[in-house]
């Protein structure tokens, strides 16, 4: 036996892709031209798989703030928040996040992965129960495993299954942490948070919602699915990332529970990793402000989402069941998915190729994500690229 034996399936898939001249897992972005265009693997493409939902990565105010922070505070903090890595700007961002979410407490993490994993691994431990949606992100799964709590999965977005499993827990339900996502990253569907909140109120426990893919796009203020569903008071912890709508890196947790300040000092992914660099914090603070000042970005994002979803659906493709800025096309045949991904790239559209086990089913996905920065013409060109695939397949 070798340590590498368990990687053989991956090695075989990689060899198969290399033979076909396709490297979707290592696609190199050689030059960024704008928030929506780049040179990828030698092709000029529309970026339709970046999660840059509000298109703020090139905003002049964000860039200026990042430049100033580098000049005044250097390129990095060189330490964790517990050591020398807490700068005044980290504290200000925490205060601004708390105010934005209308919560009393906030923690800023180095990545969204660290935030979700850290909270999942720290809030519940041995003897506790975590009840999580089966389609939860890898960071949630990793956190649950690290924490040692009893993990119970309920069927994706199935509130009847959630209630059944809580009922079976009996008295232990009161010591249960329920974890769901606002918008799920692969298919773009939303959690039925109104129903989940009602079940939580009946059985007890706490609720953590990962709003990574819904920050800035739902709710009157852009706070996510919980705000849109009117159940923010029922959500004990909101976690998320700065790497989507805010165009940076980092993560957060906000809560009204004063105990969060004590939990902060037990989160290993917080106390044992370097804090975010000053430039990242600076651009994130500006992006958070701009997100609130420019509601038209959210409106434009949803116009593009509806346009792309409708366009792909008209082609007869199997698209995500719910309209969102994430629009996934399901491809039953893996070889076809690989070939189509490569052809889309050549036709000027970069999307994400998602294959099992990363996809939520046994099928492969061509996952698209739109941005407020996409023009109507660019969205139409993405649809045209998919239409050309069908024409090519019919001729072939």
E strand intervals along 166-255: 176-181, 206-210, 237-241, 251-255
End-to-end CA distance of the chain: 45
Catalytic residue among 185, 245, 255, 364: 185
Query: Structural domain of residue 54, as residue ranges?
Result: 5-58+295-395
Centre a 10 Å sphere on the Cβ of residue 94 and count the other Cβ atoms it contains. 18
Same domain assignment for residues 108 and 192: yes
Full DSSP string of 51-100:
--TT-GGG-HHHHHHHHHHHHHH-S---SBTTTT---HHHHHHHHHHHHH
Same domain assignment for residues 197 and 302: no
Same domain assignment for residues 19 and 95: no
CATH number of the domain to which 302 belongs: 3.90.1150.10
In a domain, 69, yes or no: no
Catalytic residue among 244, 277, 309, 364: 244
Same domain assignment for residues 272 and 318: no
- 225, 243, 276: which is the final residue of a domain? 276
Same domain assignment for residues 91 and 236: yes
Domain count, the chain: 2
CATH number of the domain to which 207 belongs: 3.40.640.10
* Residue 185 annotated in active site: yes
- 233, 249, 276: which is the final residue of a domain? 276
Same domain assignment for residues 50 and 81: no
In a domain, 67, yes or no: no
Same domain assignment for residues 236 and 136: yes
Same domain assignment for residues 220 and 101: yes
Same domain assignment for residues 143 and 228: yes
Catalytic residue among 105, 213, 309, 374: 213
Same domain assignment for residues 247 and 368: no
Rounded to whole angstroms, how far apart are CA atoms 266 and 147? 11
Same domain assignment for residues 258 and 162: yes
In a domain, 144, yes or no: yes
In a domain, 70, yes or no: no
Q: What is the pTM of this model?
A: 0.94
* Residue 2 annotated in active site: no
pLDDT in tens, the chain (396 residues): 689 888 888 888 788 777 776 766 668 899 999 999 999 989 999 999 999 999 999 999 999 999 999 999 999 999 999 999 999 999 999 999 999 999 999 999 999 999 999 999 999 999 999 999 999 999 999 999 999 999 999 999 999 999 999 999 999 999 999 999 999 999 999 999 999 999 999 999 999 999 999 999 999 999 999 999 999 999 999 999 999 999 999 999 999 999 999 999 999 999 999 999 999 999 999 999 999 999 999 999 999 999 999 999 999 999 999 999 999 999 999 889 989 999 999 999 999 999 888 888 889 999 999 999 999 999 999 999 999 998 766 544
- 243, 276, 309: which is the final residue of a domain? 276
In a domain, 259, yes or no: yes
- For residues 46 and 381, the answer to whether their CB atoms sit within 8 Å is yes
């Amino acid at each position: 036996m070798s340590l590498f034996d368990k990687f053989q399936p991956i090695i075989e898939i990689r060899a198969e892709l290399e033979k076909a001249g396709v490297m979707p897992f290592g696609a190199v972005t050689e030059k960024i031209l704008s928030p929506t265009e780049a040179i990828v693997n030698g092709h000029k493409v529309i970026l339709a798989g970046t999660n840059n939902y509000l298109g703020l990565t090139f905003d002049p105010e964000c860039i200026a703030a990042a430049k100033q922070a580098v000049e005044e505070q250097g390129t990095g903090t060189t330490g964790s928040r517990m050591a020398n890595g807490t700068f005044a700007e980290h504290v200000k961002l925490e205060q601004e996040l708390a105010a934005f979410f209308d919560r009393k407490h906030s923690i800023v993490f180095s990545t969204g992965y660290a935030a979700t994993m850290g909270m999942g691994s720290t809030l519940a431990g041995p003897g506790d129960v975590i009840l999580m949606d089966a389609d939860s992100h890898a960071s949630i799964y990793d956190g649950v495993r690290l924490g040692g709590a009893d993990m119970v999965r309920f069927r994706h977005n199935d509130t009847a299954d959630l209630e059944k499993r809580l009922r079976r827990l009996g008295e232990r339900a009161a010591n249960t942490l329920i974890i769901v996502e606002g918008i799920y990253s692969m298919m773009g569907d939303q959690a039925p948070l109104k129903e989940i909140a009602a079940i939580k109120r009946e059985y007890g426990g706490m609720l953590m919602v990962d709003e990574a893919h819904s920050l800035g796009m739902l709710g009157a203020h852009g706070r996510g699915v919980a705000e849109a569903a009117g159940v923010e008071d029922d959500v004990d912890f909101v976690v998320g990332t700065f790497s989507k709508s805010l165009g940076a890196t980092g993560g957060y947790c906000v809560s009204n529970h004063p105990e969060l300040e004590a939990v902060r000092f037990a989160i290993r992914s917080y106390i044992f990793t370097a804090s975010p660099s000053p430039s990242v914090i600076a651009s994130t603070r500006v992006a958070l402000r701009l997100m609130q000042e420019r509601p038209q970005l959210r409106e434009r994002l949803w116009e593009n989402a509806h346009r792309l979803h409708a366009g792909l659906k008209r082609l007869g493709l199997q698209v995500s069941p719910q309209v969102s800025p994430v629009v996934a096309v399901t491809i039953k045949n893996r070889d076809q998915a690989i070939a189509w991904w490569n052809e889309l790239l050549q036709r000027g559209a970069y999307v994400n190729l998602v294959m099992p086990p990363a996809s939520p089913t046994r099928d492969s996905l061509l996952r698209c994500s739109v941005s407020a920065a996409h023009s109507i013409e660019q969205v139409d060109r993405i649809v045209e690229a998919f239409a050309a695939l069908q024409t090519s397949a019919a001729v072939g």
